[in-house]
């Protein structure tokens, strides 16, 4: 949040009309402000750090790449930035990629203005806003993807690492996990590095997707 308590939002969409519409929608709210916007992935990656947004509203399809790639890159630099994917099409492939990239939400451009405002507020508050029906399809895909069984992989983890893995699955940052477990953020970072190594993963977003698959298998 900004010093005035407002939710700082960055907009990425290659259509000026869409950006203008969303910007005007957000500008009409007392608790929000637009701190920057871009029409390309490259421009967004250059501008987002300076804007220090709480939420980045990212178009999935862009002329020079994907909003999902922007989400992955931004989240790898600064996990405090929440990403809300905005797209014209219900695309399971893009949704799958968005979940793995660490996006907090995925909504269609057909969404009503009031619903988009609520989505931005929810994402800023740390809530996950992924369409239940679409997410269920992705979890089904994760479950059908096979791979080593849960017990084989988790056997390598200590109880503390398993707890931290669960919290990663809930979308918590290292700082938030540290506060929950009463440990220093640096200590959590070391735990995360260790458990990712044991699971053969490089990014925490992969761990989050792994947790989603385990939960799906238990249903």
pLDDT tens by residue, 53-94: 999 999 988 888 888 889 888 888 888 899 998 887 666 566
Low-confidence winner among 11-20, 46-55, 68-77, 207-216 (lowest mean pLDDT): 207-216
DSSP 56: E
* Spatial separation of the C-alpha atoms in residues 180 and 135, rounded to whole Å: 26
- Please tell me the distance from the alpha carbon of residue 178 to that of residue 189, in angstroms, as a whole number: 9
The helix (H) or strand (E) run that includes residue 108 is strand 105-108
CB neighbour burial string for 162-172, b if at least 16 within 10 angstroms, e if fewer: eebbebbbebb
pLDDT digits (tens, 9 = 90+) for 95-149: 677 777 778 888 888 888 899 999 999 999 988 776 556 556 655 655 554 443 4
For 148-152, the CB contacts below 8 A with 24+ separation are 150/214, 150/217
Residues 125 and 109: their CA atoms lie apart, in Å, by 21
Q: What secondary structure letter does DSSP report for 109?
A: T
More confident residue, 205 or 105: 105
């Amino acid at each position: 949040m900004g010093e005035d308590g407002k939710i700082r939002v960055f907009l990425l969409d290659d259509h000026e009309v869409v950006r203008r519409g969303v910007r005007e929608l957000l500008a009409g709210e007392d608790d929000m402000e637009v701190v920057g916007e871009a029409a390309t992935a490259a421009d967004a990656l250059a501008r987002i750090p300076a804007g220090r947004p709480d939420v980045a509203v990212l178009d999935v399809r862009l002329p020079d790449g994907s909003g999902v790639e922007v989400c992955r890159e931004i989240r790898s630099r600064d996990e405090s930035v929440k990403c809300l994917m905005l797209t014209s099409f219900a695309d399971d492939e893009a949704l799958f990629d968005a979940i793995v990239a660490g996006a907090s939400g995925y909504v269609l451009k057909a969404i009503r203005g009031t619903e988009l405002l609520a989505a931005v507020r929810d994402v800023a508050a740390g809530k996950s806003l992924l369409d239940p029906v679409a997410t269920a399809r992705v979890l089904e895909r994760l479950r059908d993807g096979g791979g080593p069984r849960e017990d084989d992989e988790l056997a390598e983890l200590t109880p503390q690492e398993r707890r931290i893995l669960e919290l990663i699955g809930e979308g918590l940052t290292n700082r938030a996990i540290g506060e929950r477990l009463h440990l220093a953020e640096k200590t959590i970072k070391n735990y995360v590095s260790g458990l990712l190594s044991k699971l053969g993963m490089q990014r925490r977003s992969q761990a989050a997707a792994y947790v989603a698959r385990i939960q799906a298998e238990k249903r």
